[in-house]
Structure 1
């Protein structure tokens, strides 16, 4: 129990808790302007007049900078409670691009989301280099986020996912002040070496356990938050199981202002009073701690 023993005790009771980022499309400067060539999907069977309209709208688009993937909406039509957006997917790279799943946002003039949906664009195939291809996007009623869809001032945009945050160690100030540099480095390395959490997953990993002088039982737990939001834990039931599969102690803890930041792991020591010990000589060769169901 020497490495992470804490003096502070949690109160124990008898057994009984993506800012959306919108891309800004840059238009090409005089020295680096890229004018795309209009191309149509091979399965689109268009009348001559329809092709003329697309060519006209394509000619009105501003040029791009080199090495850009862009989307520009040209028409919005409401069908009952659904919305269809016609847009050009534009490619100013020197090579063809192919899409699979893409998250798109329909935005109002102030950049507020009107609709959001993930589209499977594998059917489009390749968008040739330096080209633009029109495509239709159906936002169904369940994708709509606003009661009113304006006919003017809207735009369609790729939803840029924030780069996954690196999972780090989170320490309360009391831990910061009491751990040695070596202990802190060991905890940081432990957090770094653990398997990655699934999105939104929160789990509990025991890292140290043992009896204290008064025969109470101390368990240091690493609370791991794999979500993108800070979590607050107010009440936490815990059980400890030894290598024999026996539950050696169980209790409920009340925590005051205990938060675990997004994508961090925070250690906490829980003290089970001696009277809660169901097994006086547990097999601690291996053990685990978990919130009982």
Structure 2
């Protein structure tokens, strides 16, 4: 029998998006291919969801005696990863009447990738039912009110130097991939390297990441370089000109501290670090130093 396919399309209410099966890593290795096919068939039969929507759709509600087992698919229609925590659910009928309500902690689901659907079994305690039984032909599960969701973002580079070698790009990419994911709305500054150049400059290379939906412009960058014993070596308040990081992007930036030391060759300053103090920016919030 042919199954209906969930397709992305547009109407006058917005754009619909398709979602694909997503399992936890430990489930991926133990769930059989047959069971995965069943999951994918069920996902294709679900009603479409809109772009930017978090959706829950029920498959069945089964009375276990002391509780009600409800199988649902949680679908992420956003373009970023989601980490779900305490989420309140309602079971309602076609009249909008509440049949059951309960809050579940979904932190164990881990990261829910963009445009994905994950099967979950929820167990409603009988004390949280408003009726004697859930009618099999007249119920659906919905999200209730405000709940705690953190959207995870992993910015990618923009504006890398022209002519950068493949080897150098791989090094920068590896560093970026090793940084922790960011929550939506954050801006972070990370120290990539510190070294002493032959011209006498202590060169600090940073990676700035913007996890907001707006461009972030930095006006001033007060910085202090510390040696491996955490002693202050150099400080400066850099005035930035037209330095902007686009939404969900990362950008390299170099800062030079002049010294009277001129080595024969460039030298890495292993164990040295940087303190960023009262960075002045336009359009951002939640600045983190990583």
TM (normalized to structure 1)?
Answer: 0.45
Structure possessing the higher relative contact order (Cα contacts under 8 Å, 6 or more residues apart): 1
Answer 1 or 2: which has greater strand percent: 2
Q: Report which of the two structures shows the higher radius of gyration computed on alpha carbons.
A: 1
